[in-house]
């Protein structure tokens, strides 16, 4: 992991820590000297256990072990395009950064977010094609979040990149659903889908409840913000294990951060987790004994989303976790009226 990546990951924490020290009238030269001394100290095994790398993939569940093994193997195959498949919040971007750090430790990680960044990508690739450039020597990874939501222009560039050889370069992407689904709906180029022949599937948090104590210890240490870190009673941990975690690791991290900011006891009990019980009651869907018609259910959900947003398709799409193109497709398939605002 490069120093630049480390500073980027911990930027806010470093700023807060420096502001805290300076507010105590700490001499800035002394602070800089202490930082240099700390950087020169070798890490002891005990320190390594207490403070894992920010890019560590934590957990002992067999599914997360398989993900770690896949990343280690893929790091030795530097040209392979990789798709990280999983629900929102399962750590797809995190895994992409981990694979990049293992493949090109001195290279650049570029996240592509829409058409506006295509000129930047072209400039980076031009530098990568010069054999003597820093980019060519260090290598580069490009990560595309939610492949199925990308525009046709981005898809065309990505397809061309997969065909290009001879560069120290890796293309990575994430997706909530198998890209073949988006391809069948005409939202994703089939040749691009075939290009991502290597897939790493990330497990949901609800499917590895025994990893919760490890993850809680990690997030409470990261989110302490100078305060005494939280601890969780055994009954609180059991309550967390029973929750479905629709937001996965992201939701767990945000929950710990909110709890950390509360005044009062530093030991969390089940009564402090009432918001999770409320979410669970809102989200449980039970299948009736006689079954349901999925097409009717899809139609009903679309109609409700459109009613809630006064026929604003963009906002309705966000309510359903879809893109605007996906909701257009479903409205056409179900022969729903296409009137309404776009934004």
- Given 178, 203, 228, the domain boundary residue is 203
Asked whether residue 300 is domain-assigned, the answer is yes
Instruction: Establish if 134 belongs to a structural domain.
Output: yes
Same domain, 80 and 194: yes
Structural domain that includes position 336: 286-343
- 142 and 221 both lie in a single domain: no
- CATH at residue 325: 1.10.10.60
Residue 159: Cβ-neighbour burial (10 angstroms; 0-12, 13-18, 19+)? middle
Task: Tell me which residue of 76, 73, 298, 79 sits closest to 167, measured CA to CA.
Answer: 79
What pLDDT, on the 0 to 100 scale, is given for residue 45?
37
- Is 227 within a domain? yes
259 in a domain, yes or no?
A: yes
Give Cα separations from 175 to 199, 201, 301 (angstroms).
Answer: 10, 10, 22
How confident is the model at residue 48, as a pLDDT? 35
- Residue 323 CB neighbour total at 10 angstroms: 18
Q: Is 104 found in the same domain as 68?
A: yes
Q: From residue 177, give the alpha-carbon distance in Å to each of 45, 52, 321.
A: 40, 31, 11
Residues 92 and 179 in one domain: yes
Mutual angle of helices 212-222 and 234-242, in 10-degree steps: 110
Whole-angstrom CA distances from 46 to 50, 52, 254 are: 6, 10, 28
The residue with tokens 């490069």 is 2
Q: Does a structural domain hold residue 88?
A: yes
Closest CA to 321 of 243, 247, 254, 242: 247
Does residue 48 sit within a domain?
no
Domain with 243 in it: what CATH number?
Answer: 1.10.8.60
Which among 302, 297, 293 has a CA at the least distance from the CA of 326?
A: 302
β partners of residue 110: 142
290 shares a domain with 277: no
State the Rg of the chain over Cα: 23
Q: Are residues 198 and 69 in the same domain?
A: yes
Q: Which two tokens stand for residue 4?
A: 């630049």
Find how far residue 182's CA is from the centre of its chain: 20
Q: Model confidence over 58-106: pLDDT tens digits? A: 999 999 999 999 999 999 887 889 999 999 899 999 999 999 999 999 8
DSSP state of 203: P
Q: Domain for residue 47, yes or no?
A: no
What is residue 271's predicted lDDT score, i.e. its pLDDT?
83
Domain count, the chain: 4
| CATH number for the domain harbouring residue 157 | 3.40.50.300
Whether residue 109 is found in the same domain as residue 172? yes
State which of 283, 302, 325 marks the end of a domain. 283
One domain, residues 11 and 137: no
* pLDDT attached to residue 51: 46
Same structural domain, 163 and 33: no
Residue 12 is predicted with a pLDDT of 62
Residues of the chain below pLDDT 50: 1, 41-52, 281, 340, 342-343
Do 275 and 294 fall within a single domain?
no
Q: Answer for the pair 127, 133: CB distance below 8 angstroms, yes or no.
A: yes
Sheet containing strand 169-175, strands side by side: 108-112, 140-144, 169-175, 82-85, 198-201
With b for 16 or more beta-carbon neighbours within 10 A and e for fewer, the 217-229 pattern comes to bbbbebbeeeeeb
Pair (152, 163) in one structural domain: yes
């Amino acid at each position: 992991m490069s120093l630049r990546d480390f500073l980027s990951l911990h930027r806010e924490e470093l700023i807060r820590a420096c502001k805290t020290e300076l507010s105590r009238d700490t001499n800035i030269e002394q602070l800089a000297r202490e930082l240099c001394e700390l950087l020169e100290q070798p890490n002891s095994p005990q320190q390594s256990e207490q403070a894992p790398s920010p890019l560590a993939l934590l957990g002992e569940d067999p599914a997360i072990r398989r993900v770690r093994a896949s990343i280690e193997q893929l790091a030795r195959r530097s040209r392979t395009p990789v798709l990280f498949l999983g629900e929102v919040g399962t750590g797809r971007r995190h895994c992409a950064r981990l694979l990049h750090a293992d493949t090109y430790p001195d290279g650049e990680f570029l996240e592509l977010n829409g058409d506006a960044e295509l000129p930047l990508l072209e400039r980076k690739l031009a530098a990568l094609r010069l054999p003597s450039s820093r980019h060519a020597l260090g290598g580069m990874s490009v990560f595309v979040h939610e492949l199925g939501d990308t525009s046709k222009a981005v898809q065309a560039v990505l397809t061309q990149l997969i065909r290009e050889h001879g560069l120290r370069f890796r293309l990575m992407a994430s997706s909530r659903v198998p890209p073949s689904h988006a391809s069948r709906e005409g939202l994703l180029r089939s040749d691009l889908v075939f290009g991502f022949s290597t897939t790493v599937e990330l497990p949901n948090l609800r499917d590895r409840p025994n990893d919760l104590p490890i993850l809680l210890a990690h997030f409470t240490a990261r989110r302490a913000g100078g305060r005494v870190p939280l601890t969780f009673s055994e009954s609180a941990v059991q309550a967390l294990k029973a929750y479905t975690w629709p937001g996965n690791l992201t939701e767990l991290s945000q929950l710990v951060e909110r709890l950390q900011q509360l005044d009062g006891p530093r030991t969390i009990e089940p009564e402090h987790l009432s918001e999770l019980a409320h979410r669970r009651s809102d989200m449980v869907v039970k299948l009736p004994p006689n079954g349901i018609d999925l097409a009717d259910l899809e139609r009903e959900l679309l109609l409700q989303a459109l009613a809630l947003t006064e026929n604003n398709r963009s906002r309705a799409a966000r309510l359903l976790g879809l893109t605007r193109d996906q909701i257009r497709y479903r409205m056409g398939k179900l022969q729903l009226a296409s009137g309404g605002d776009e934004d």
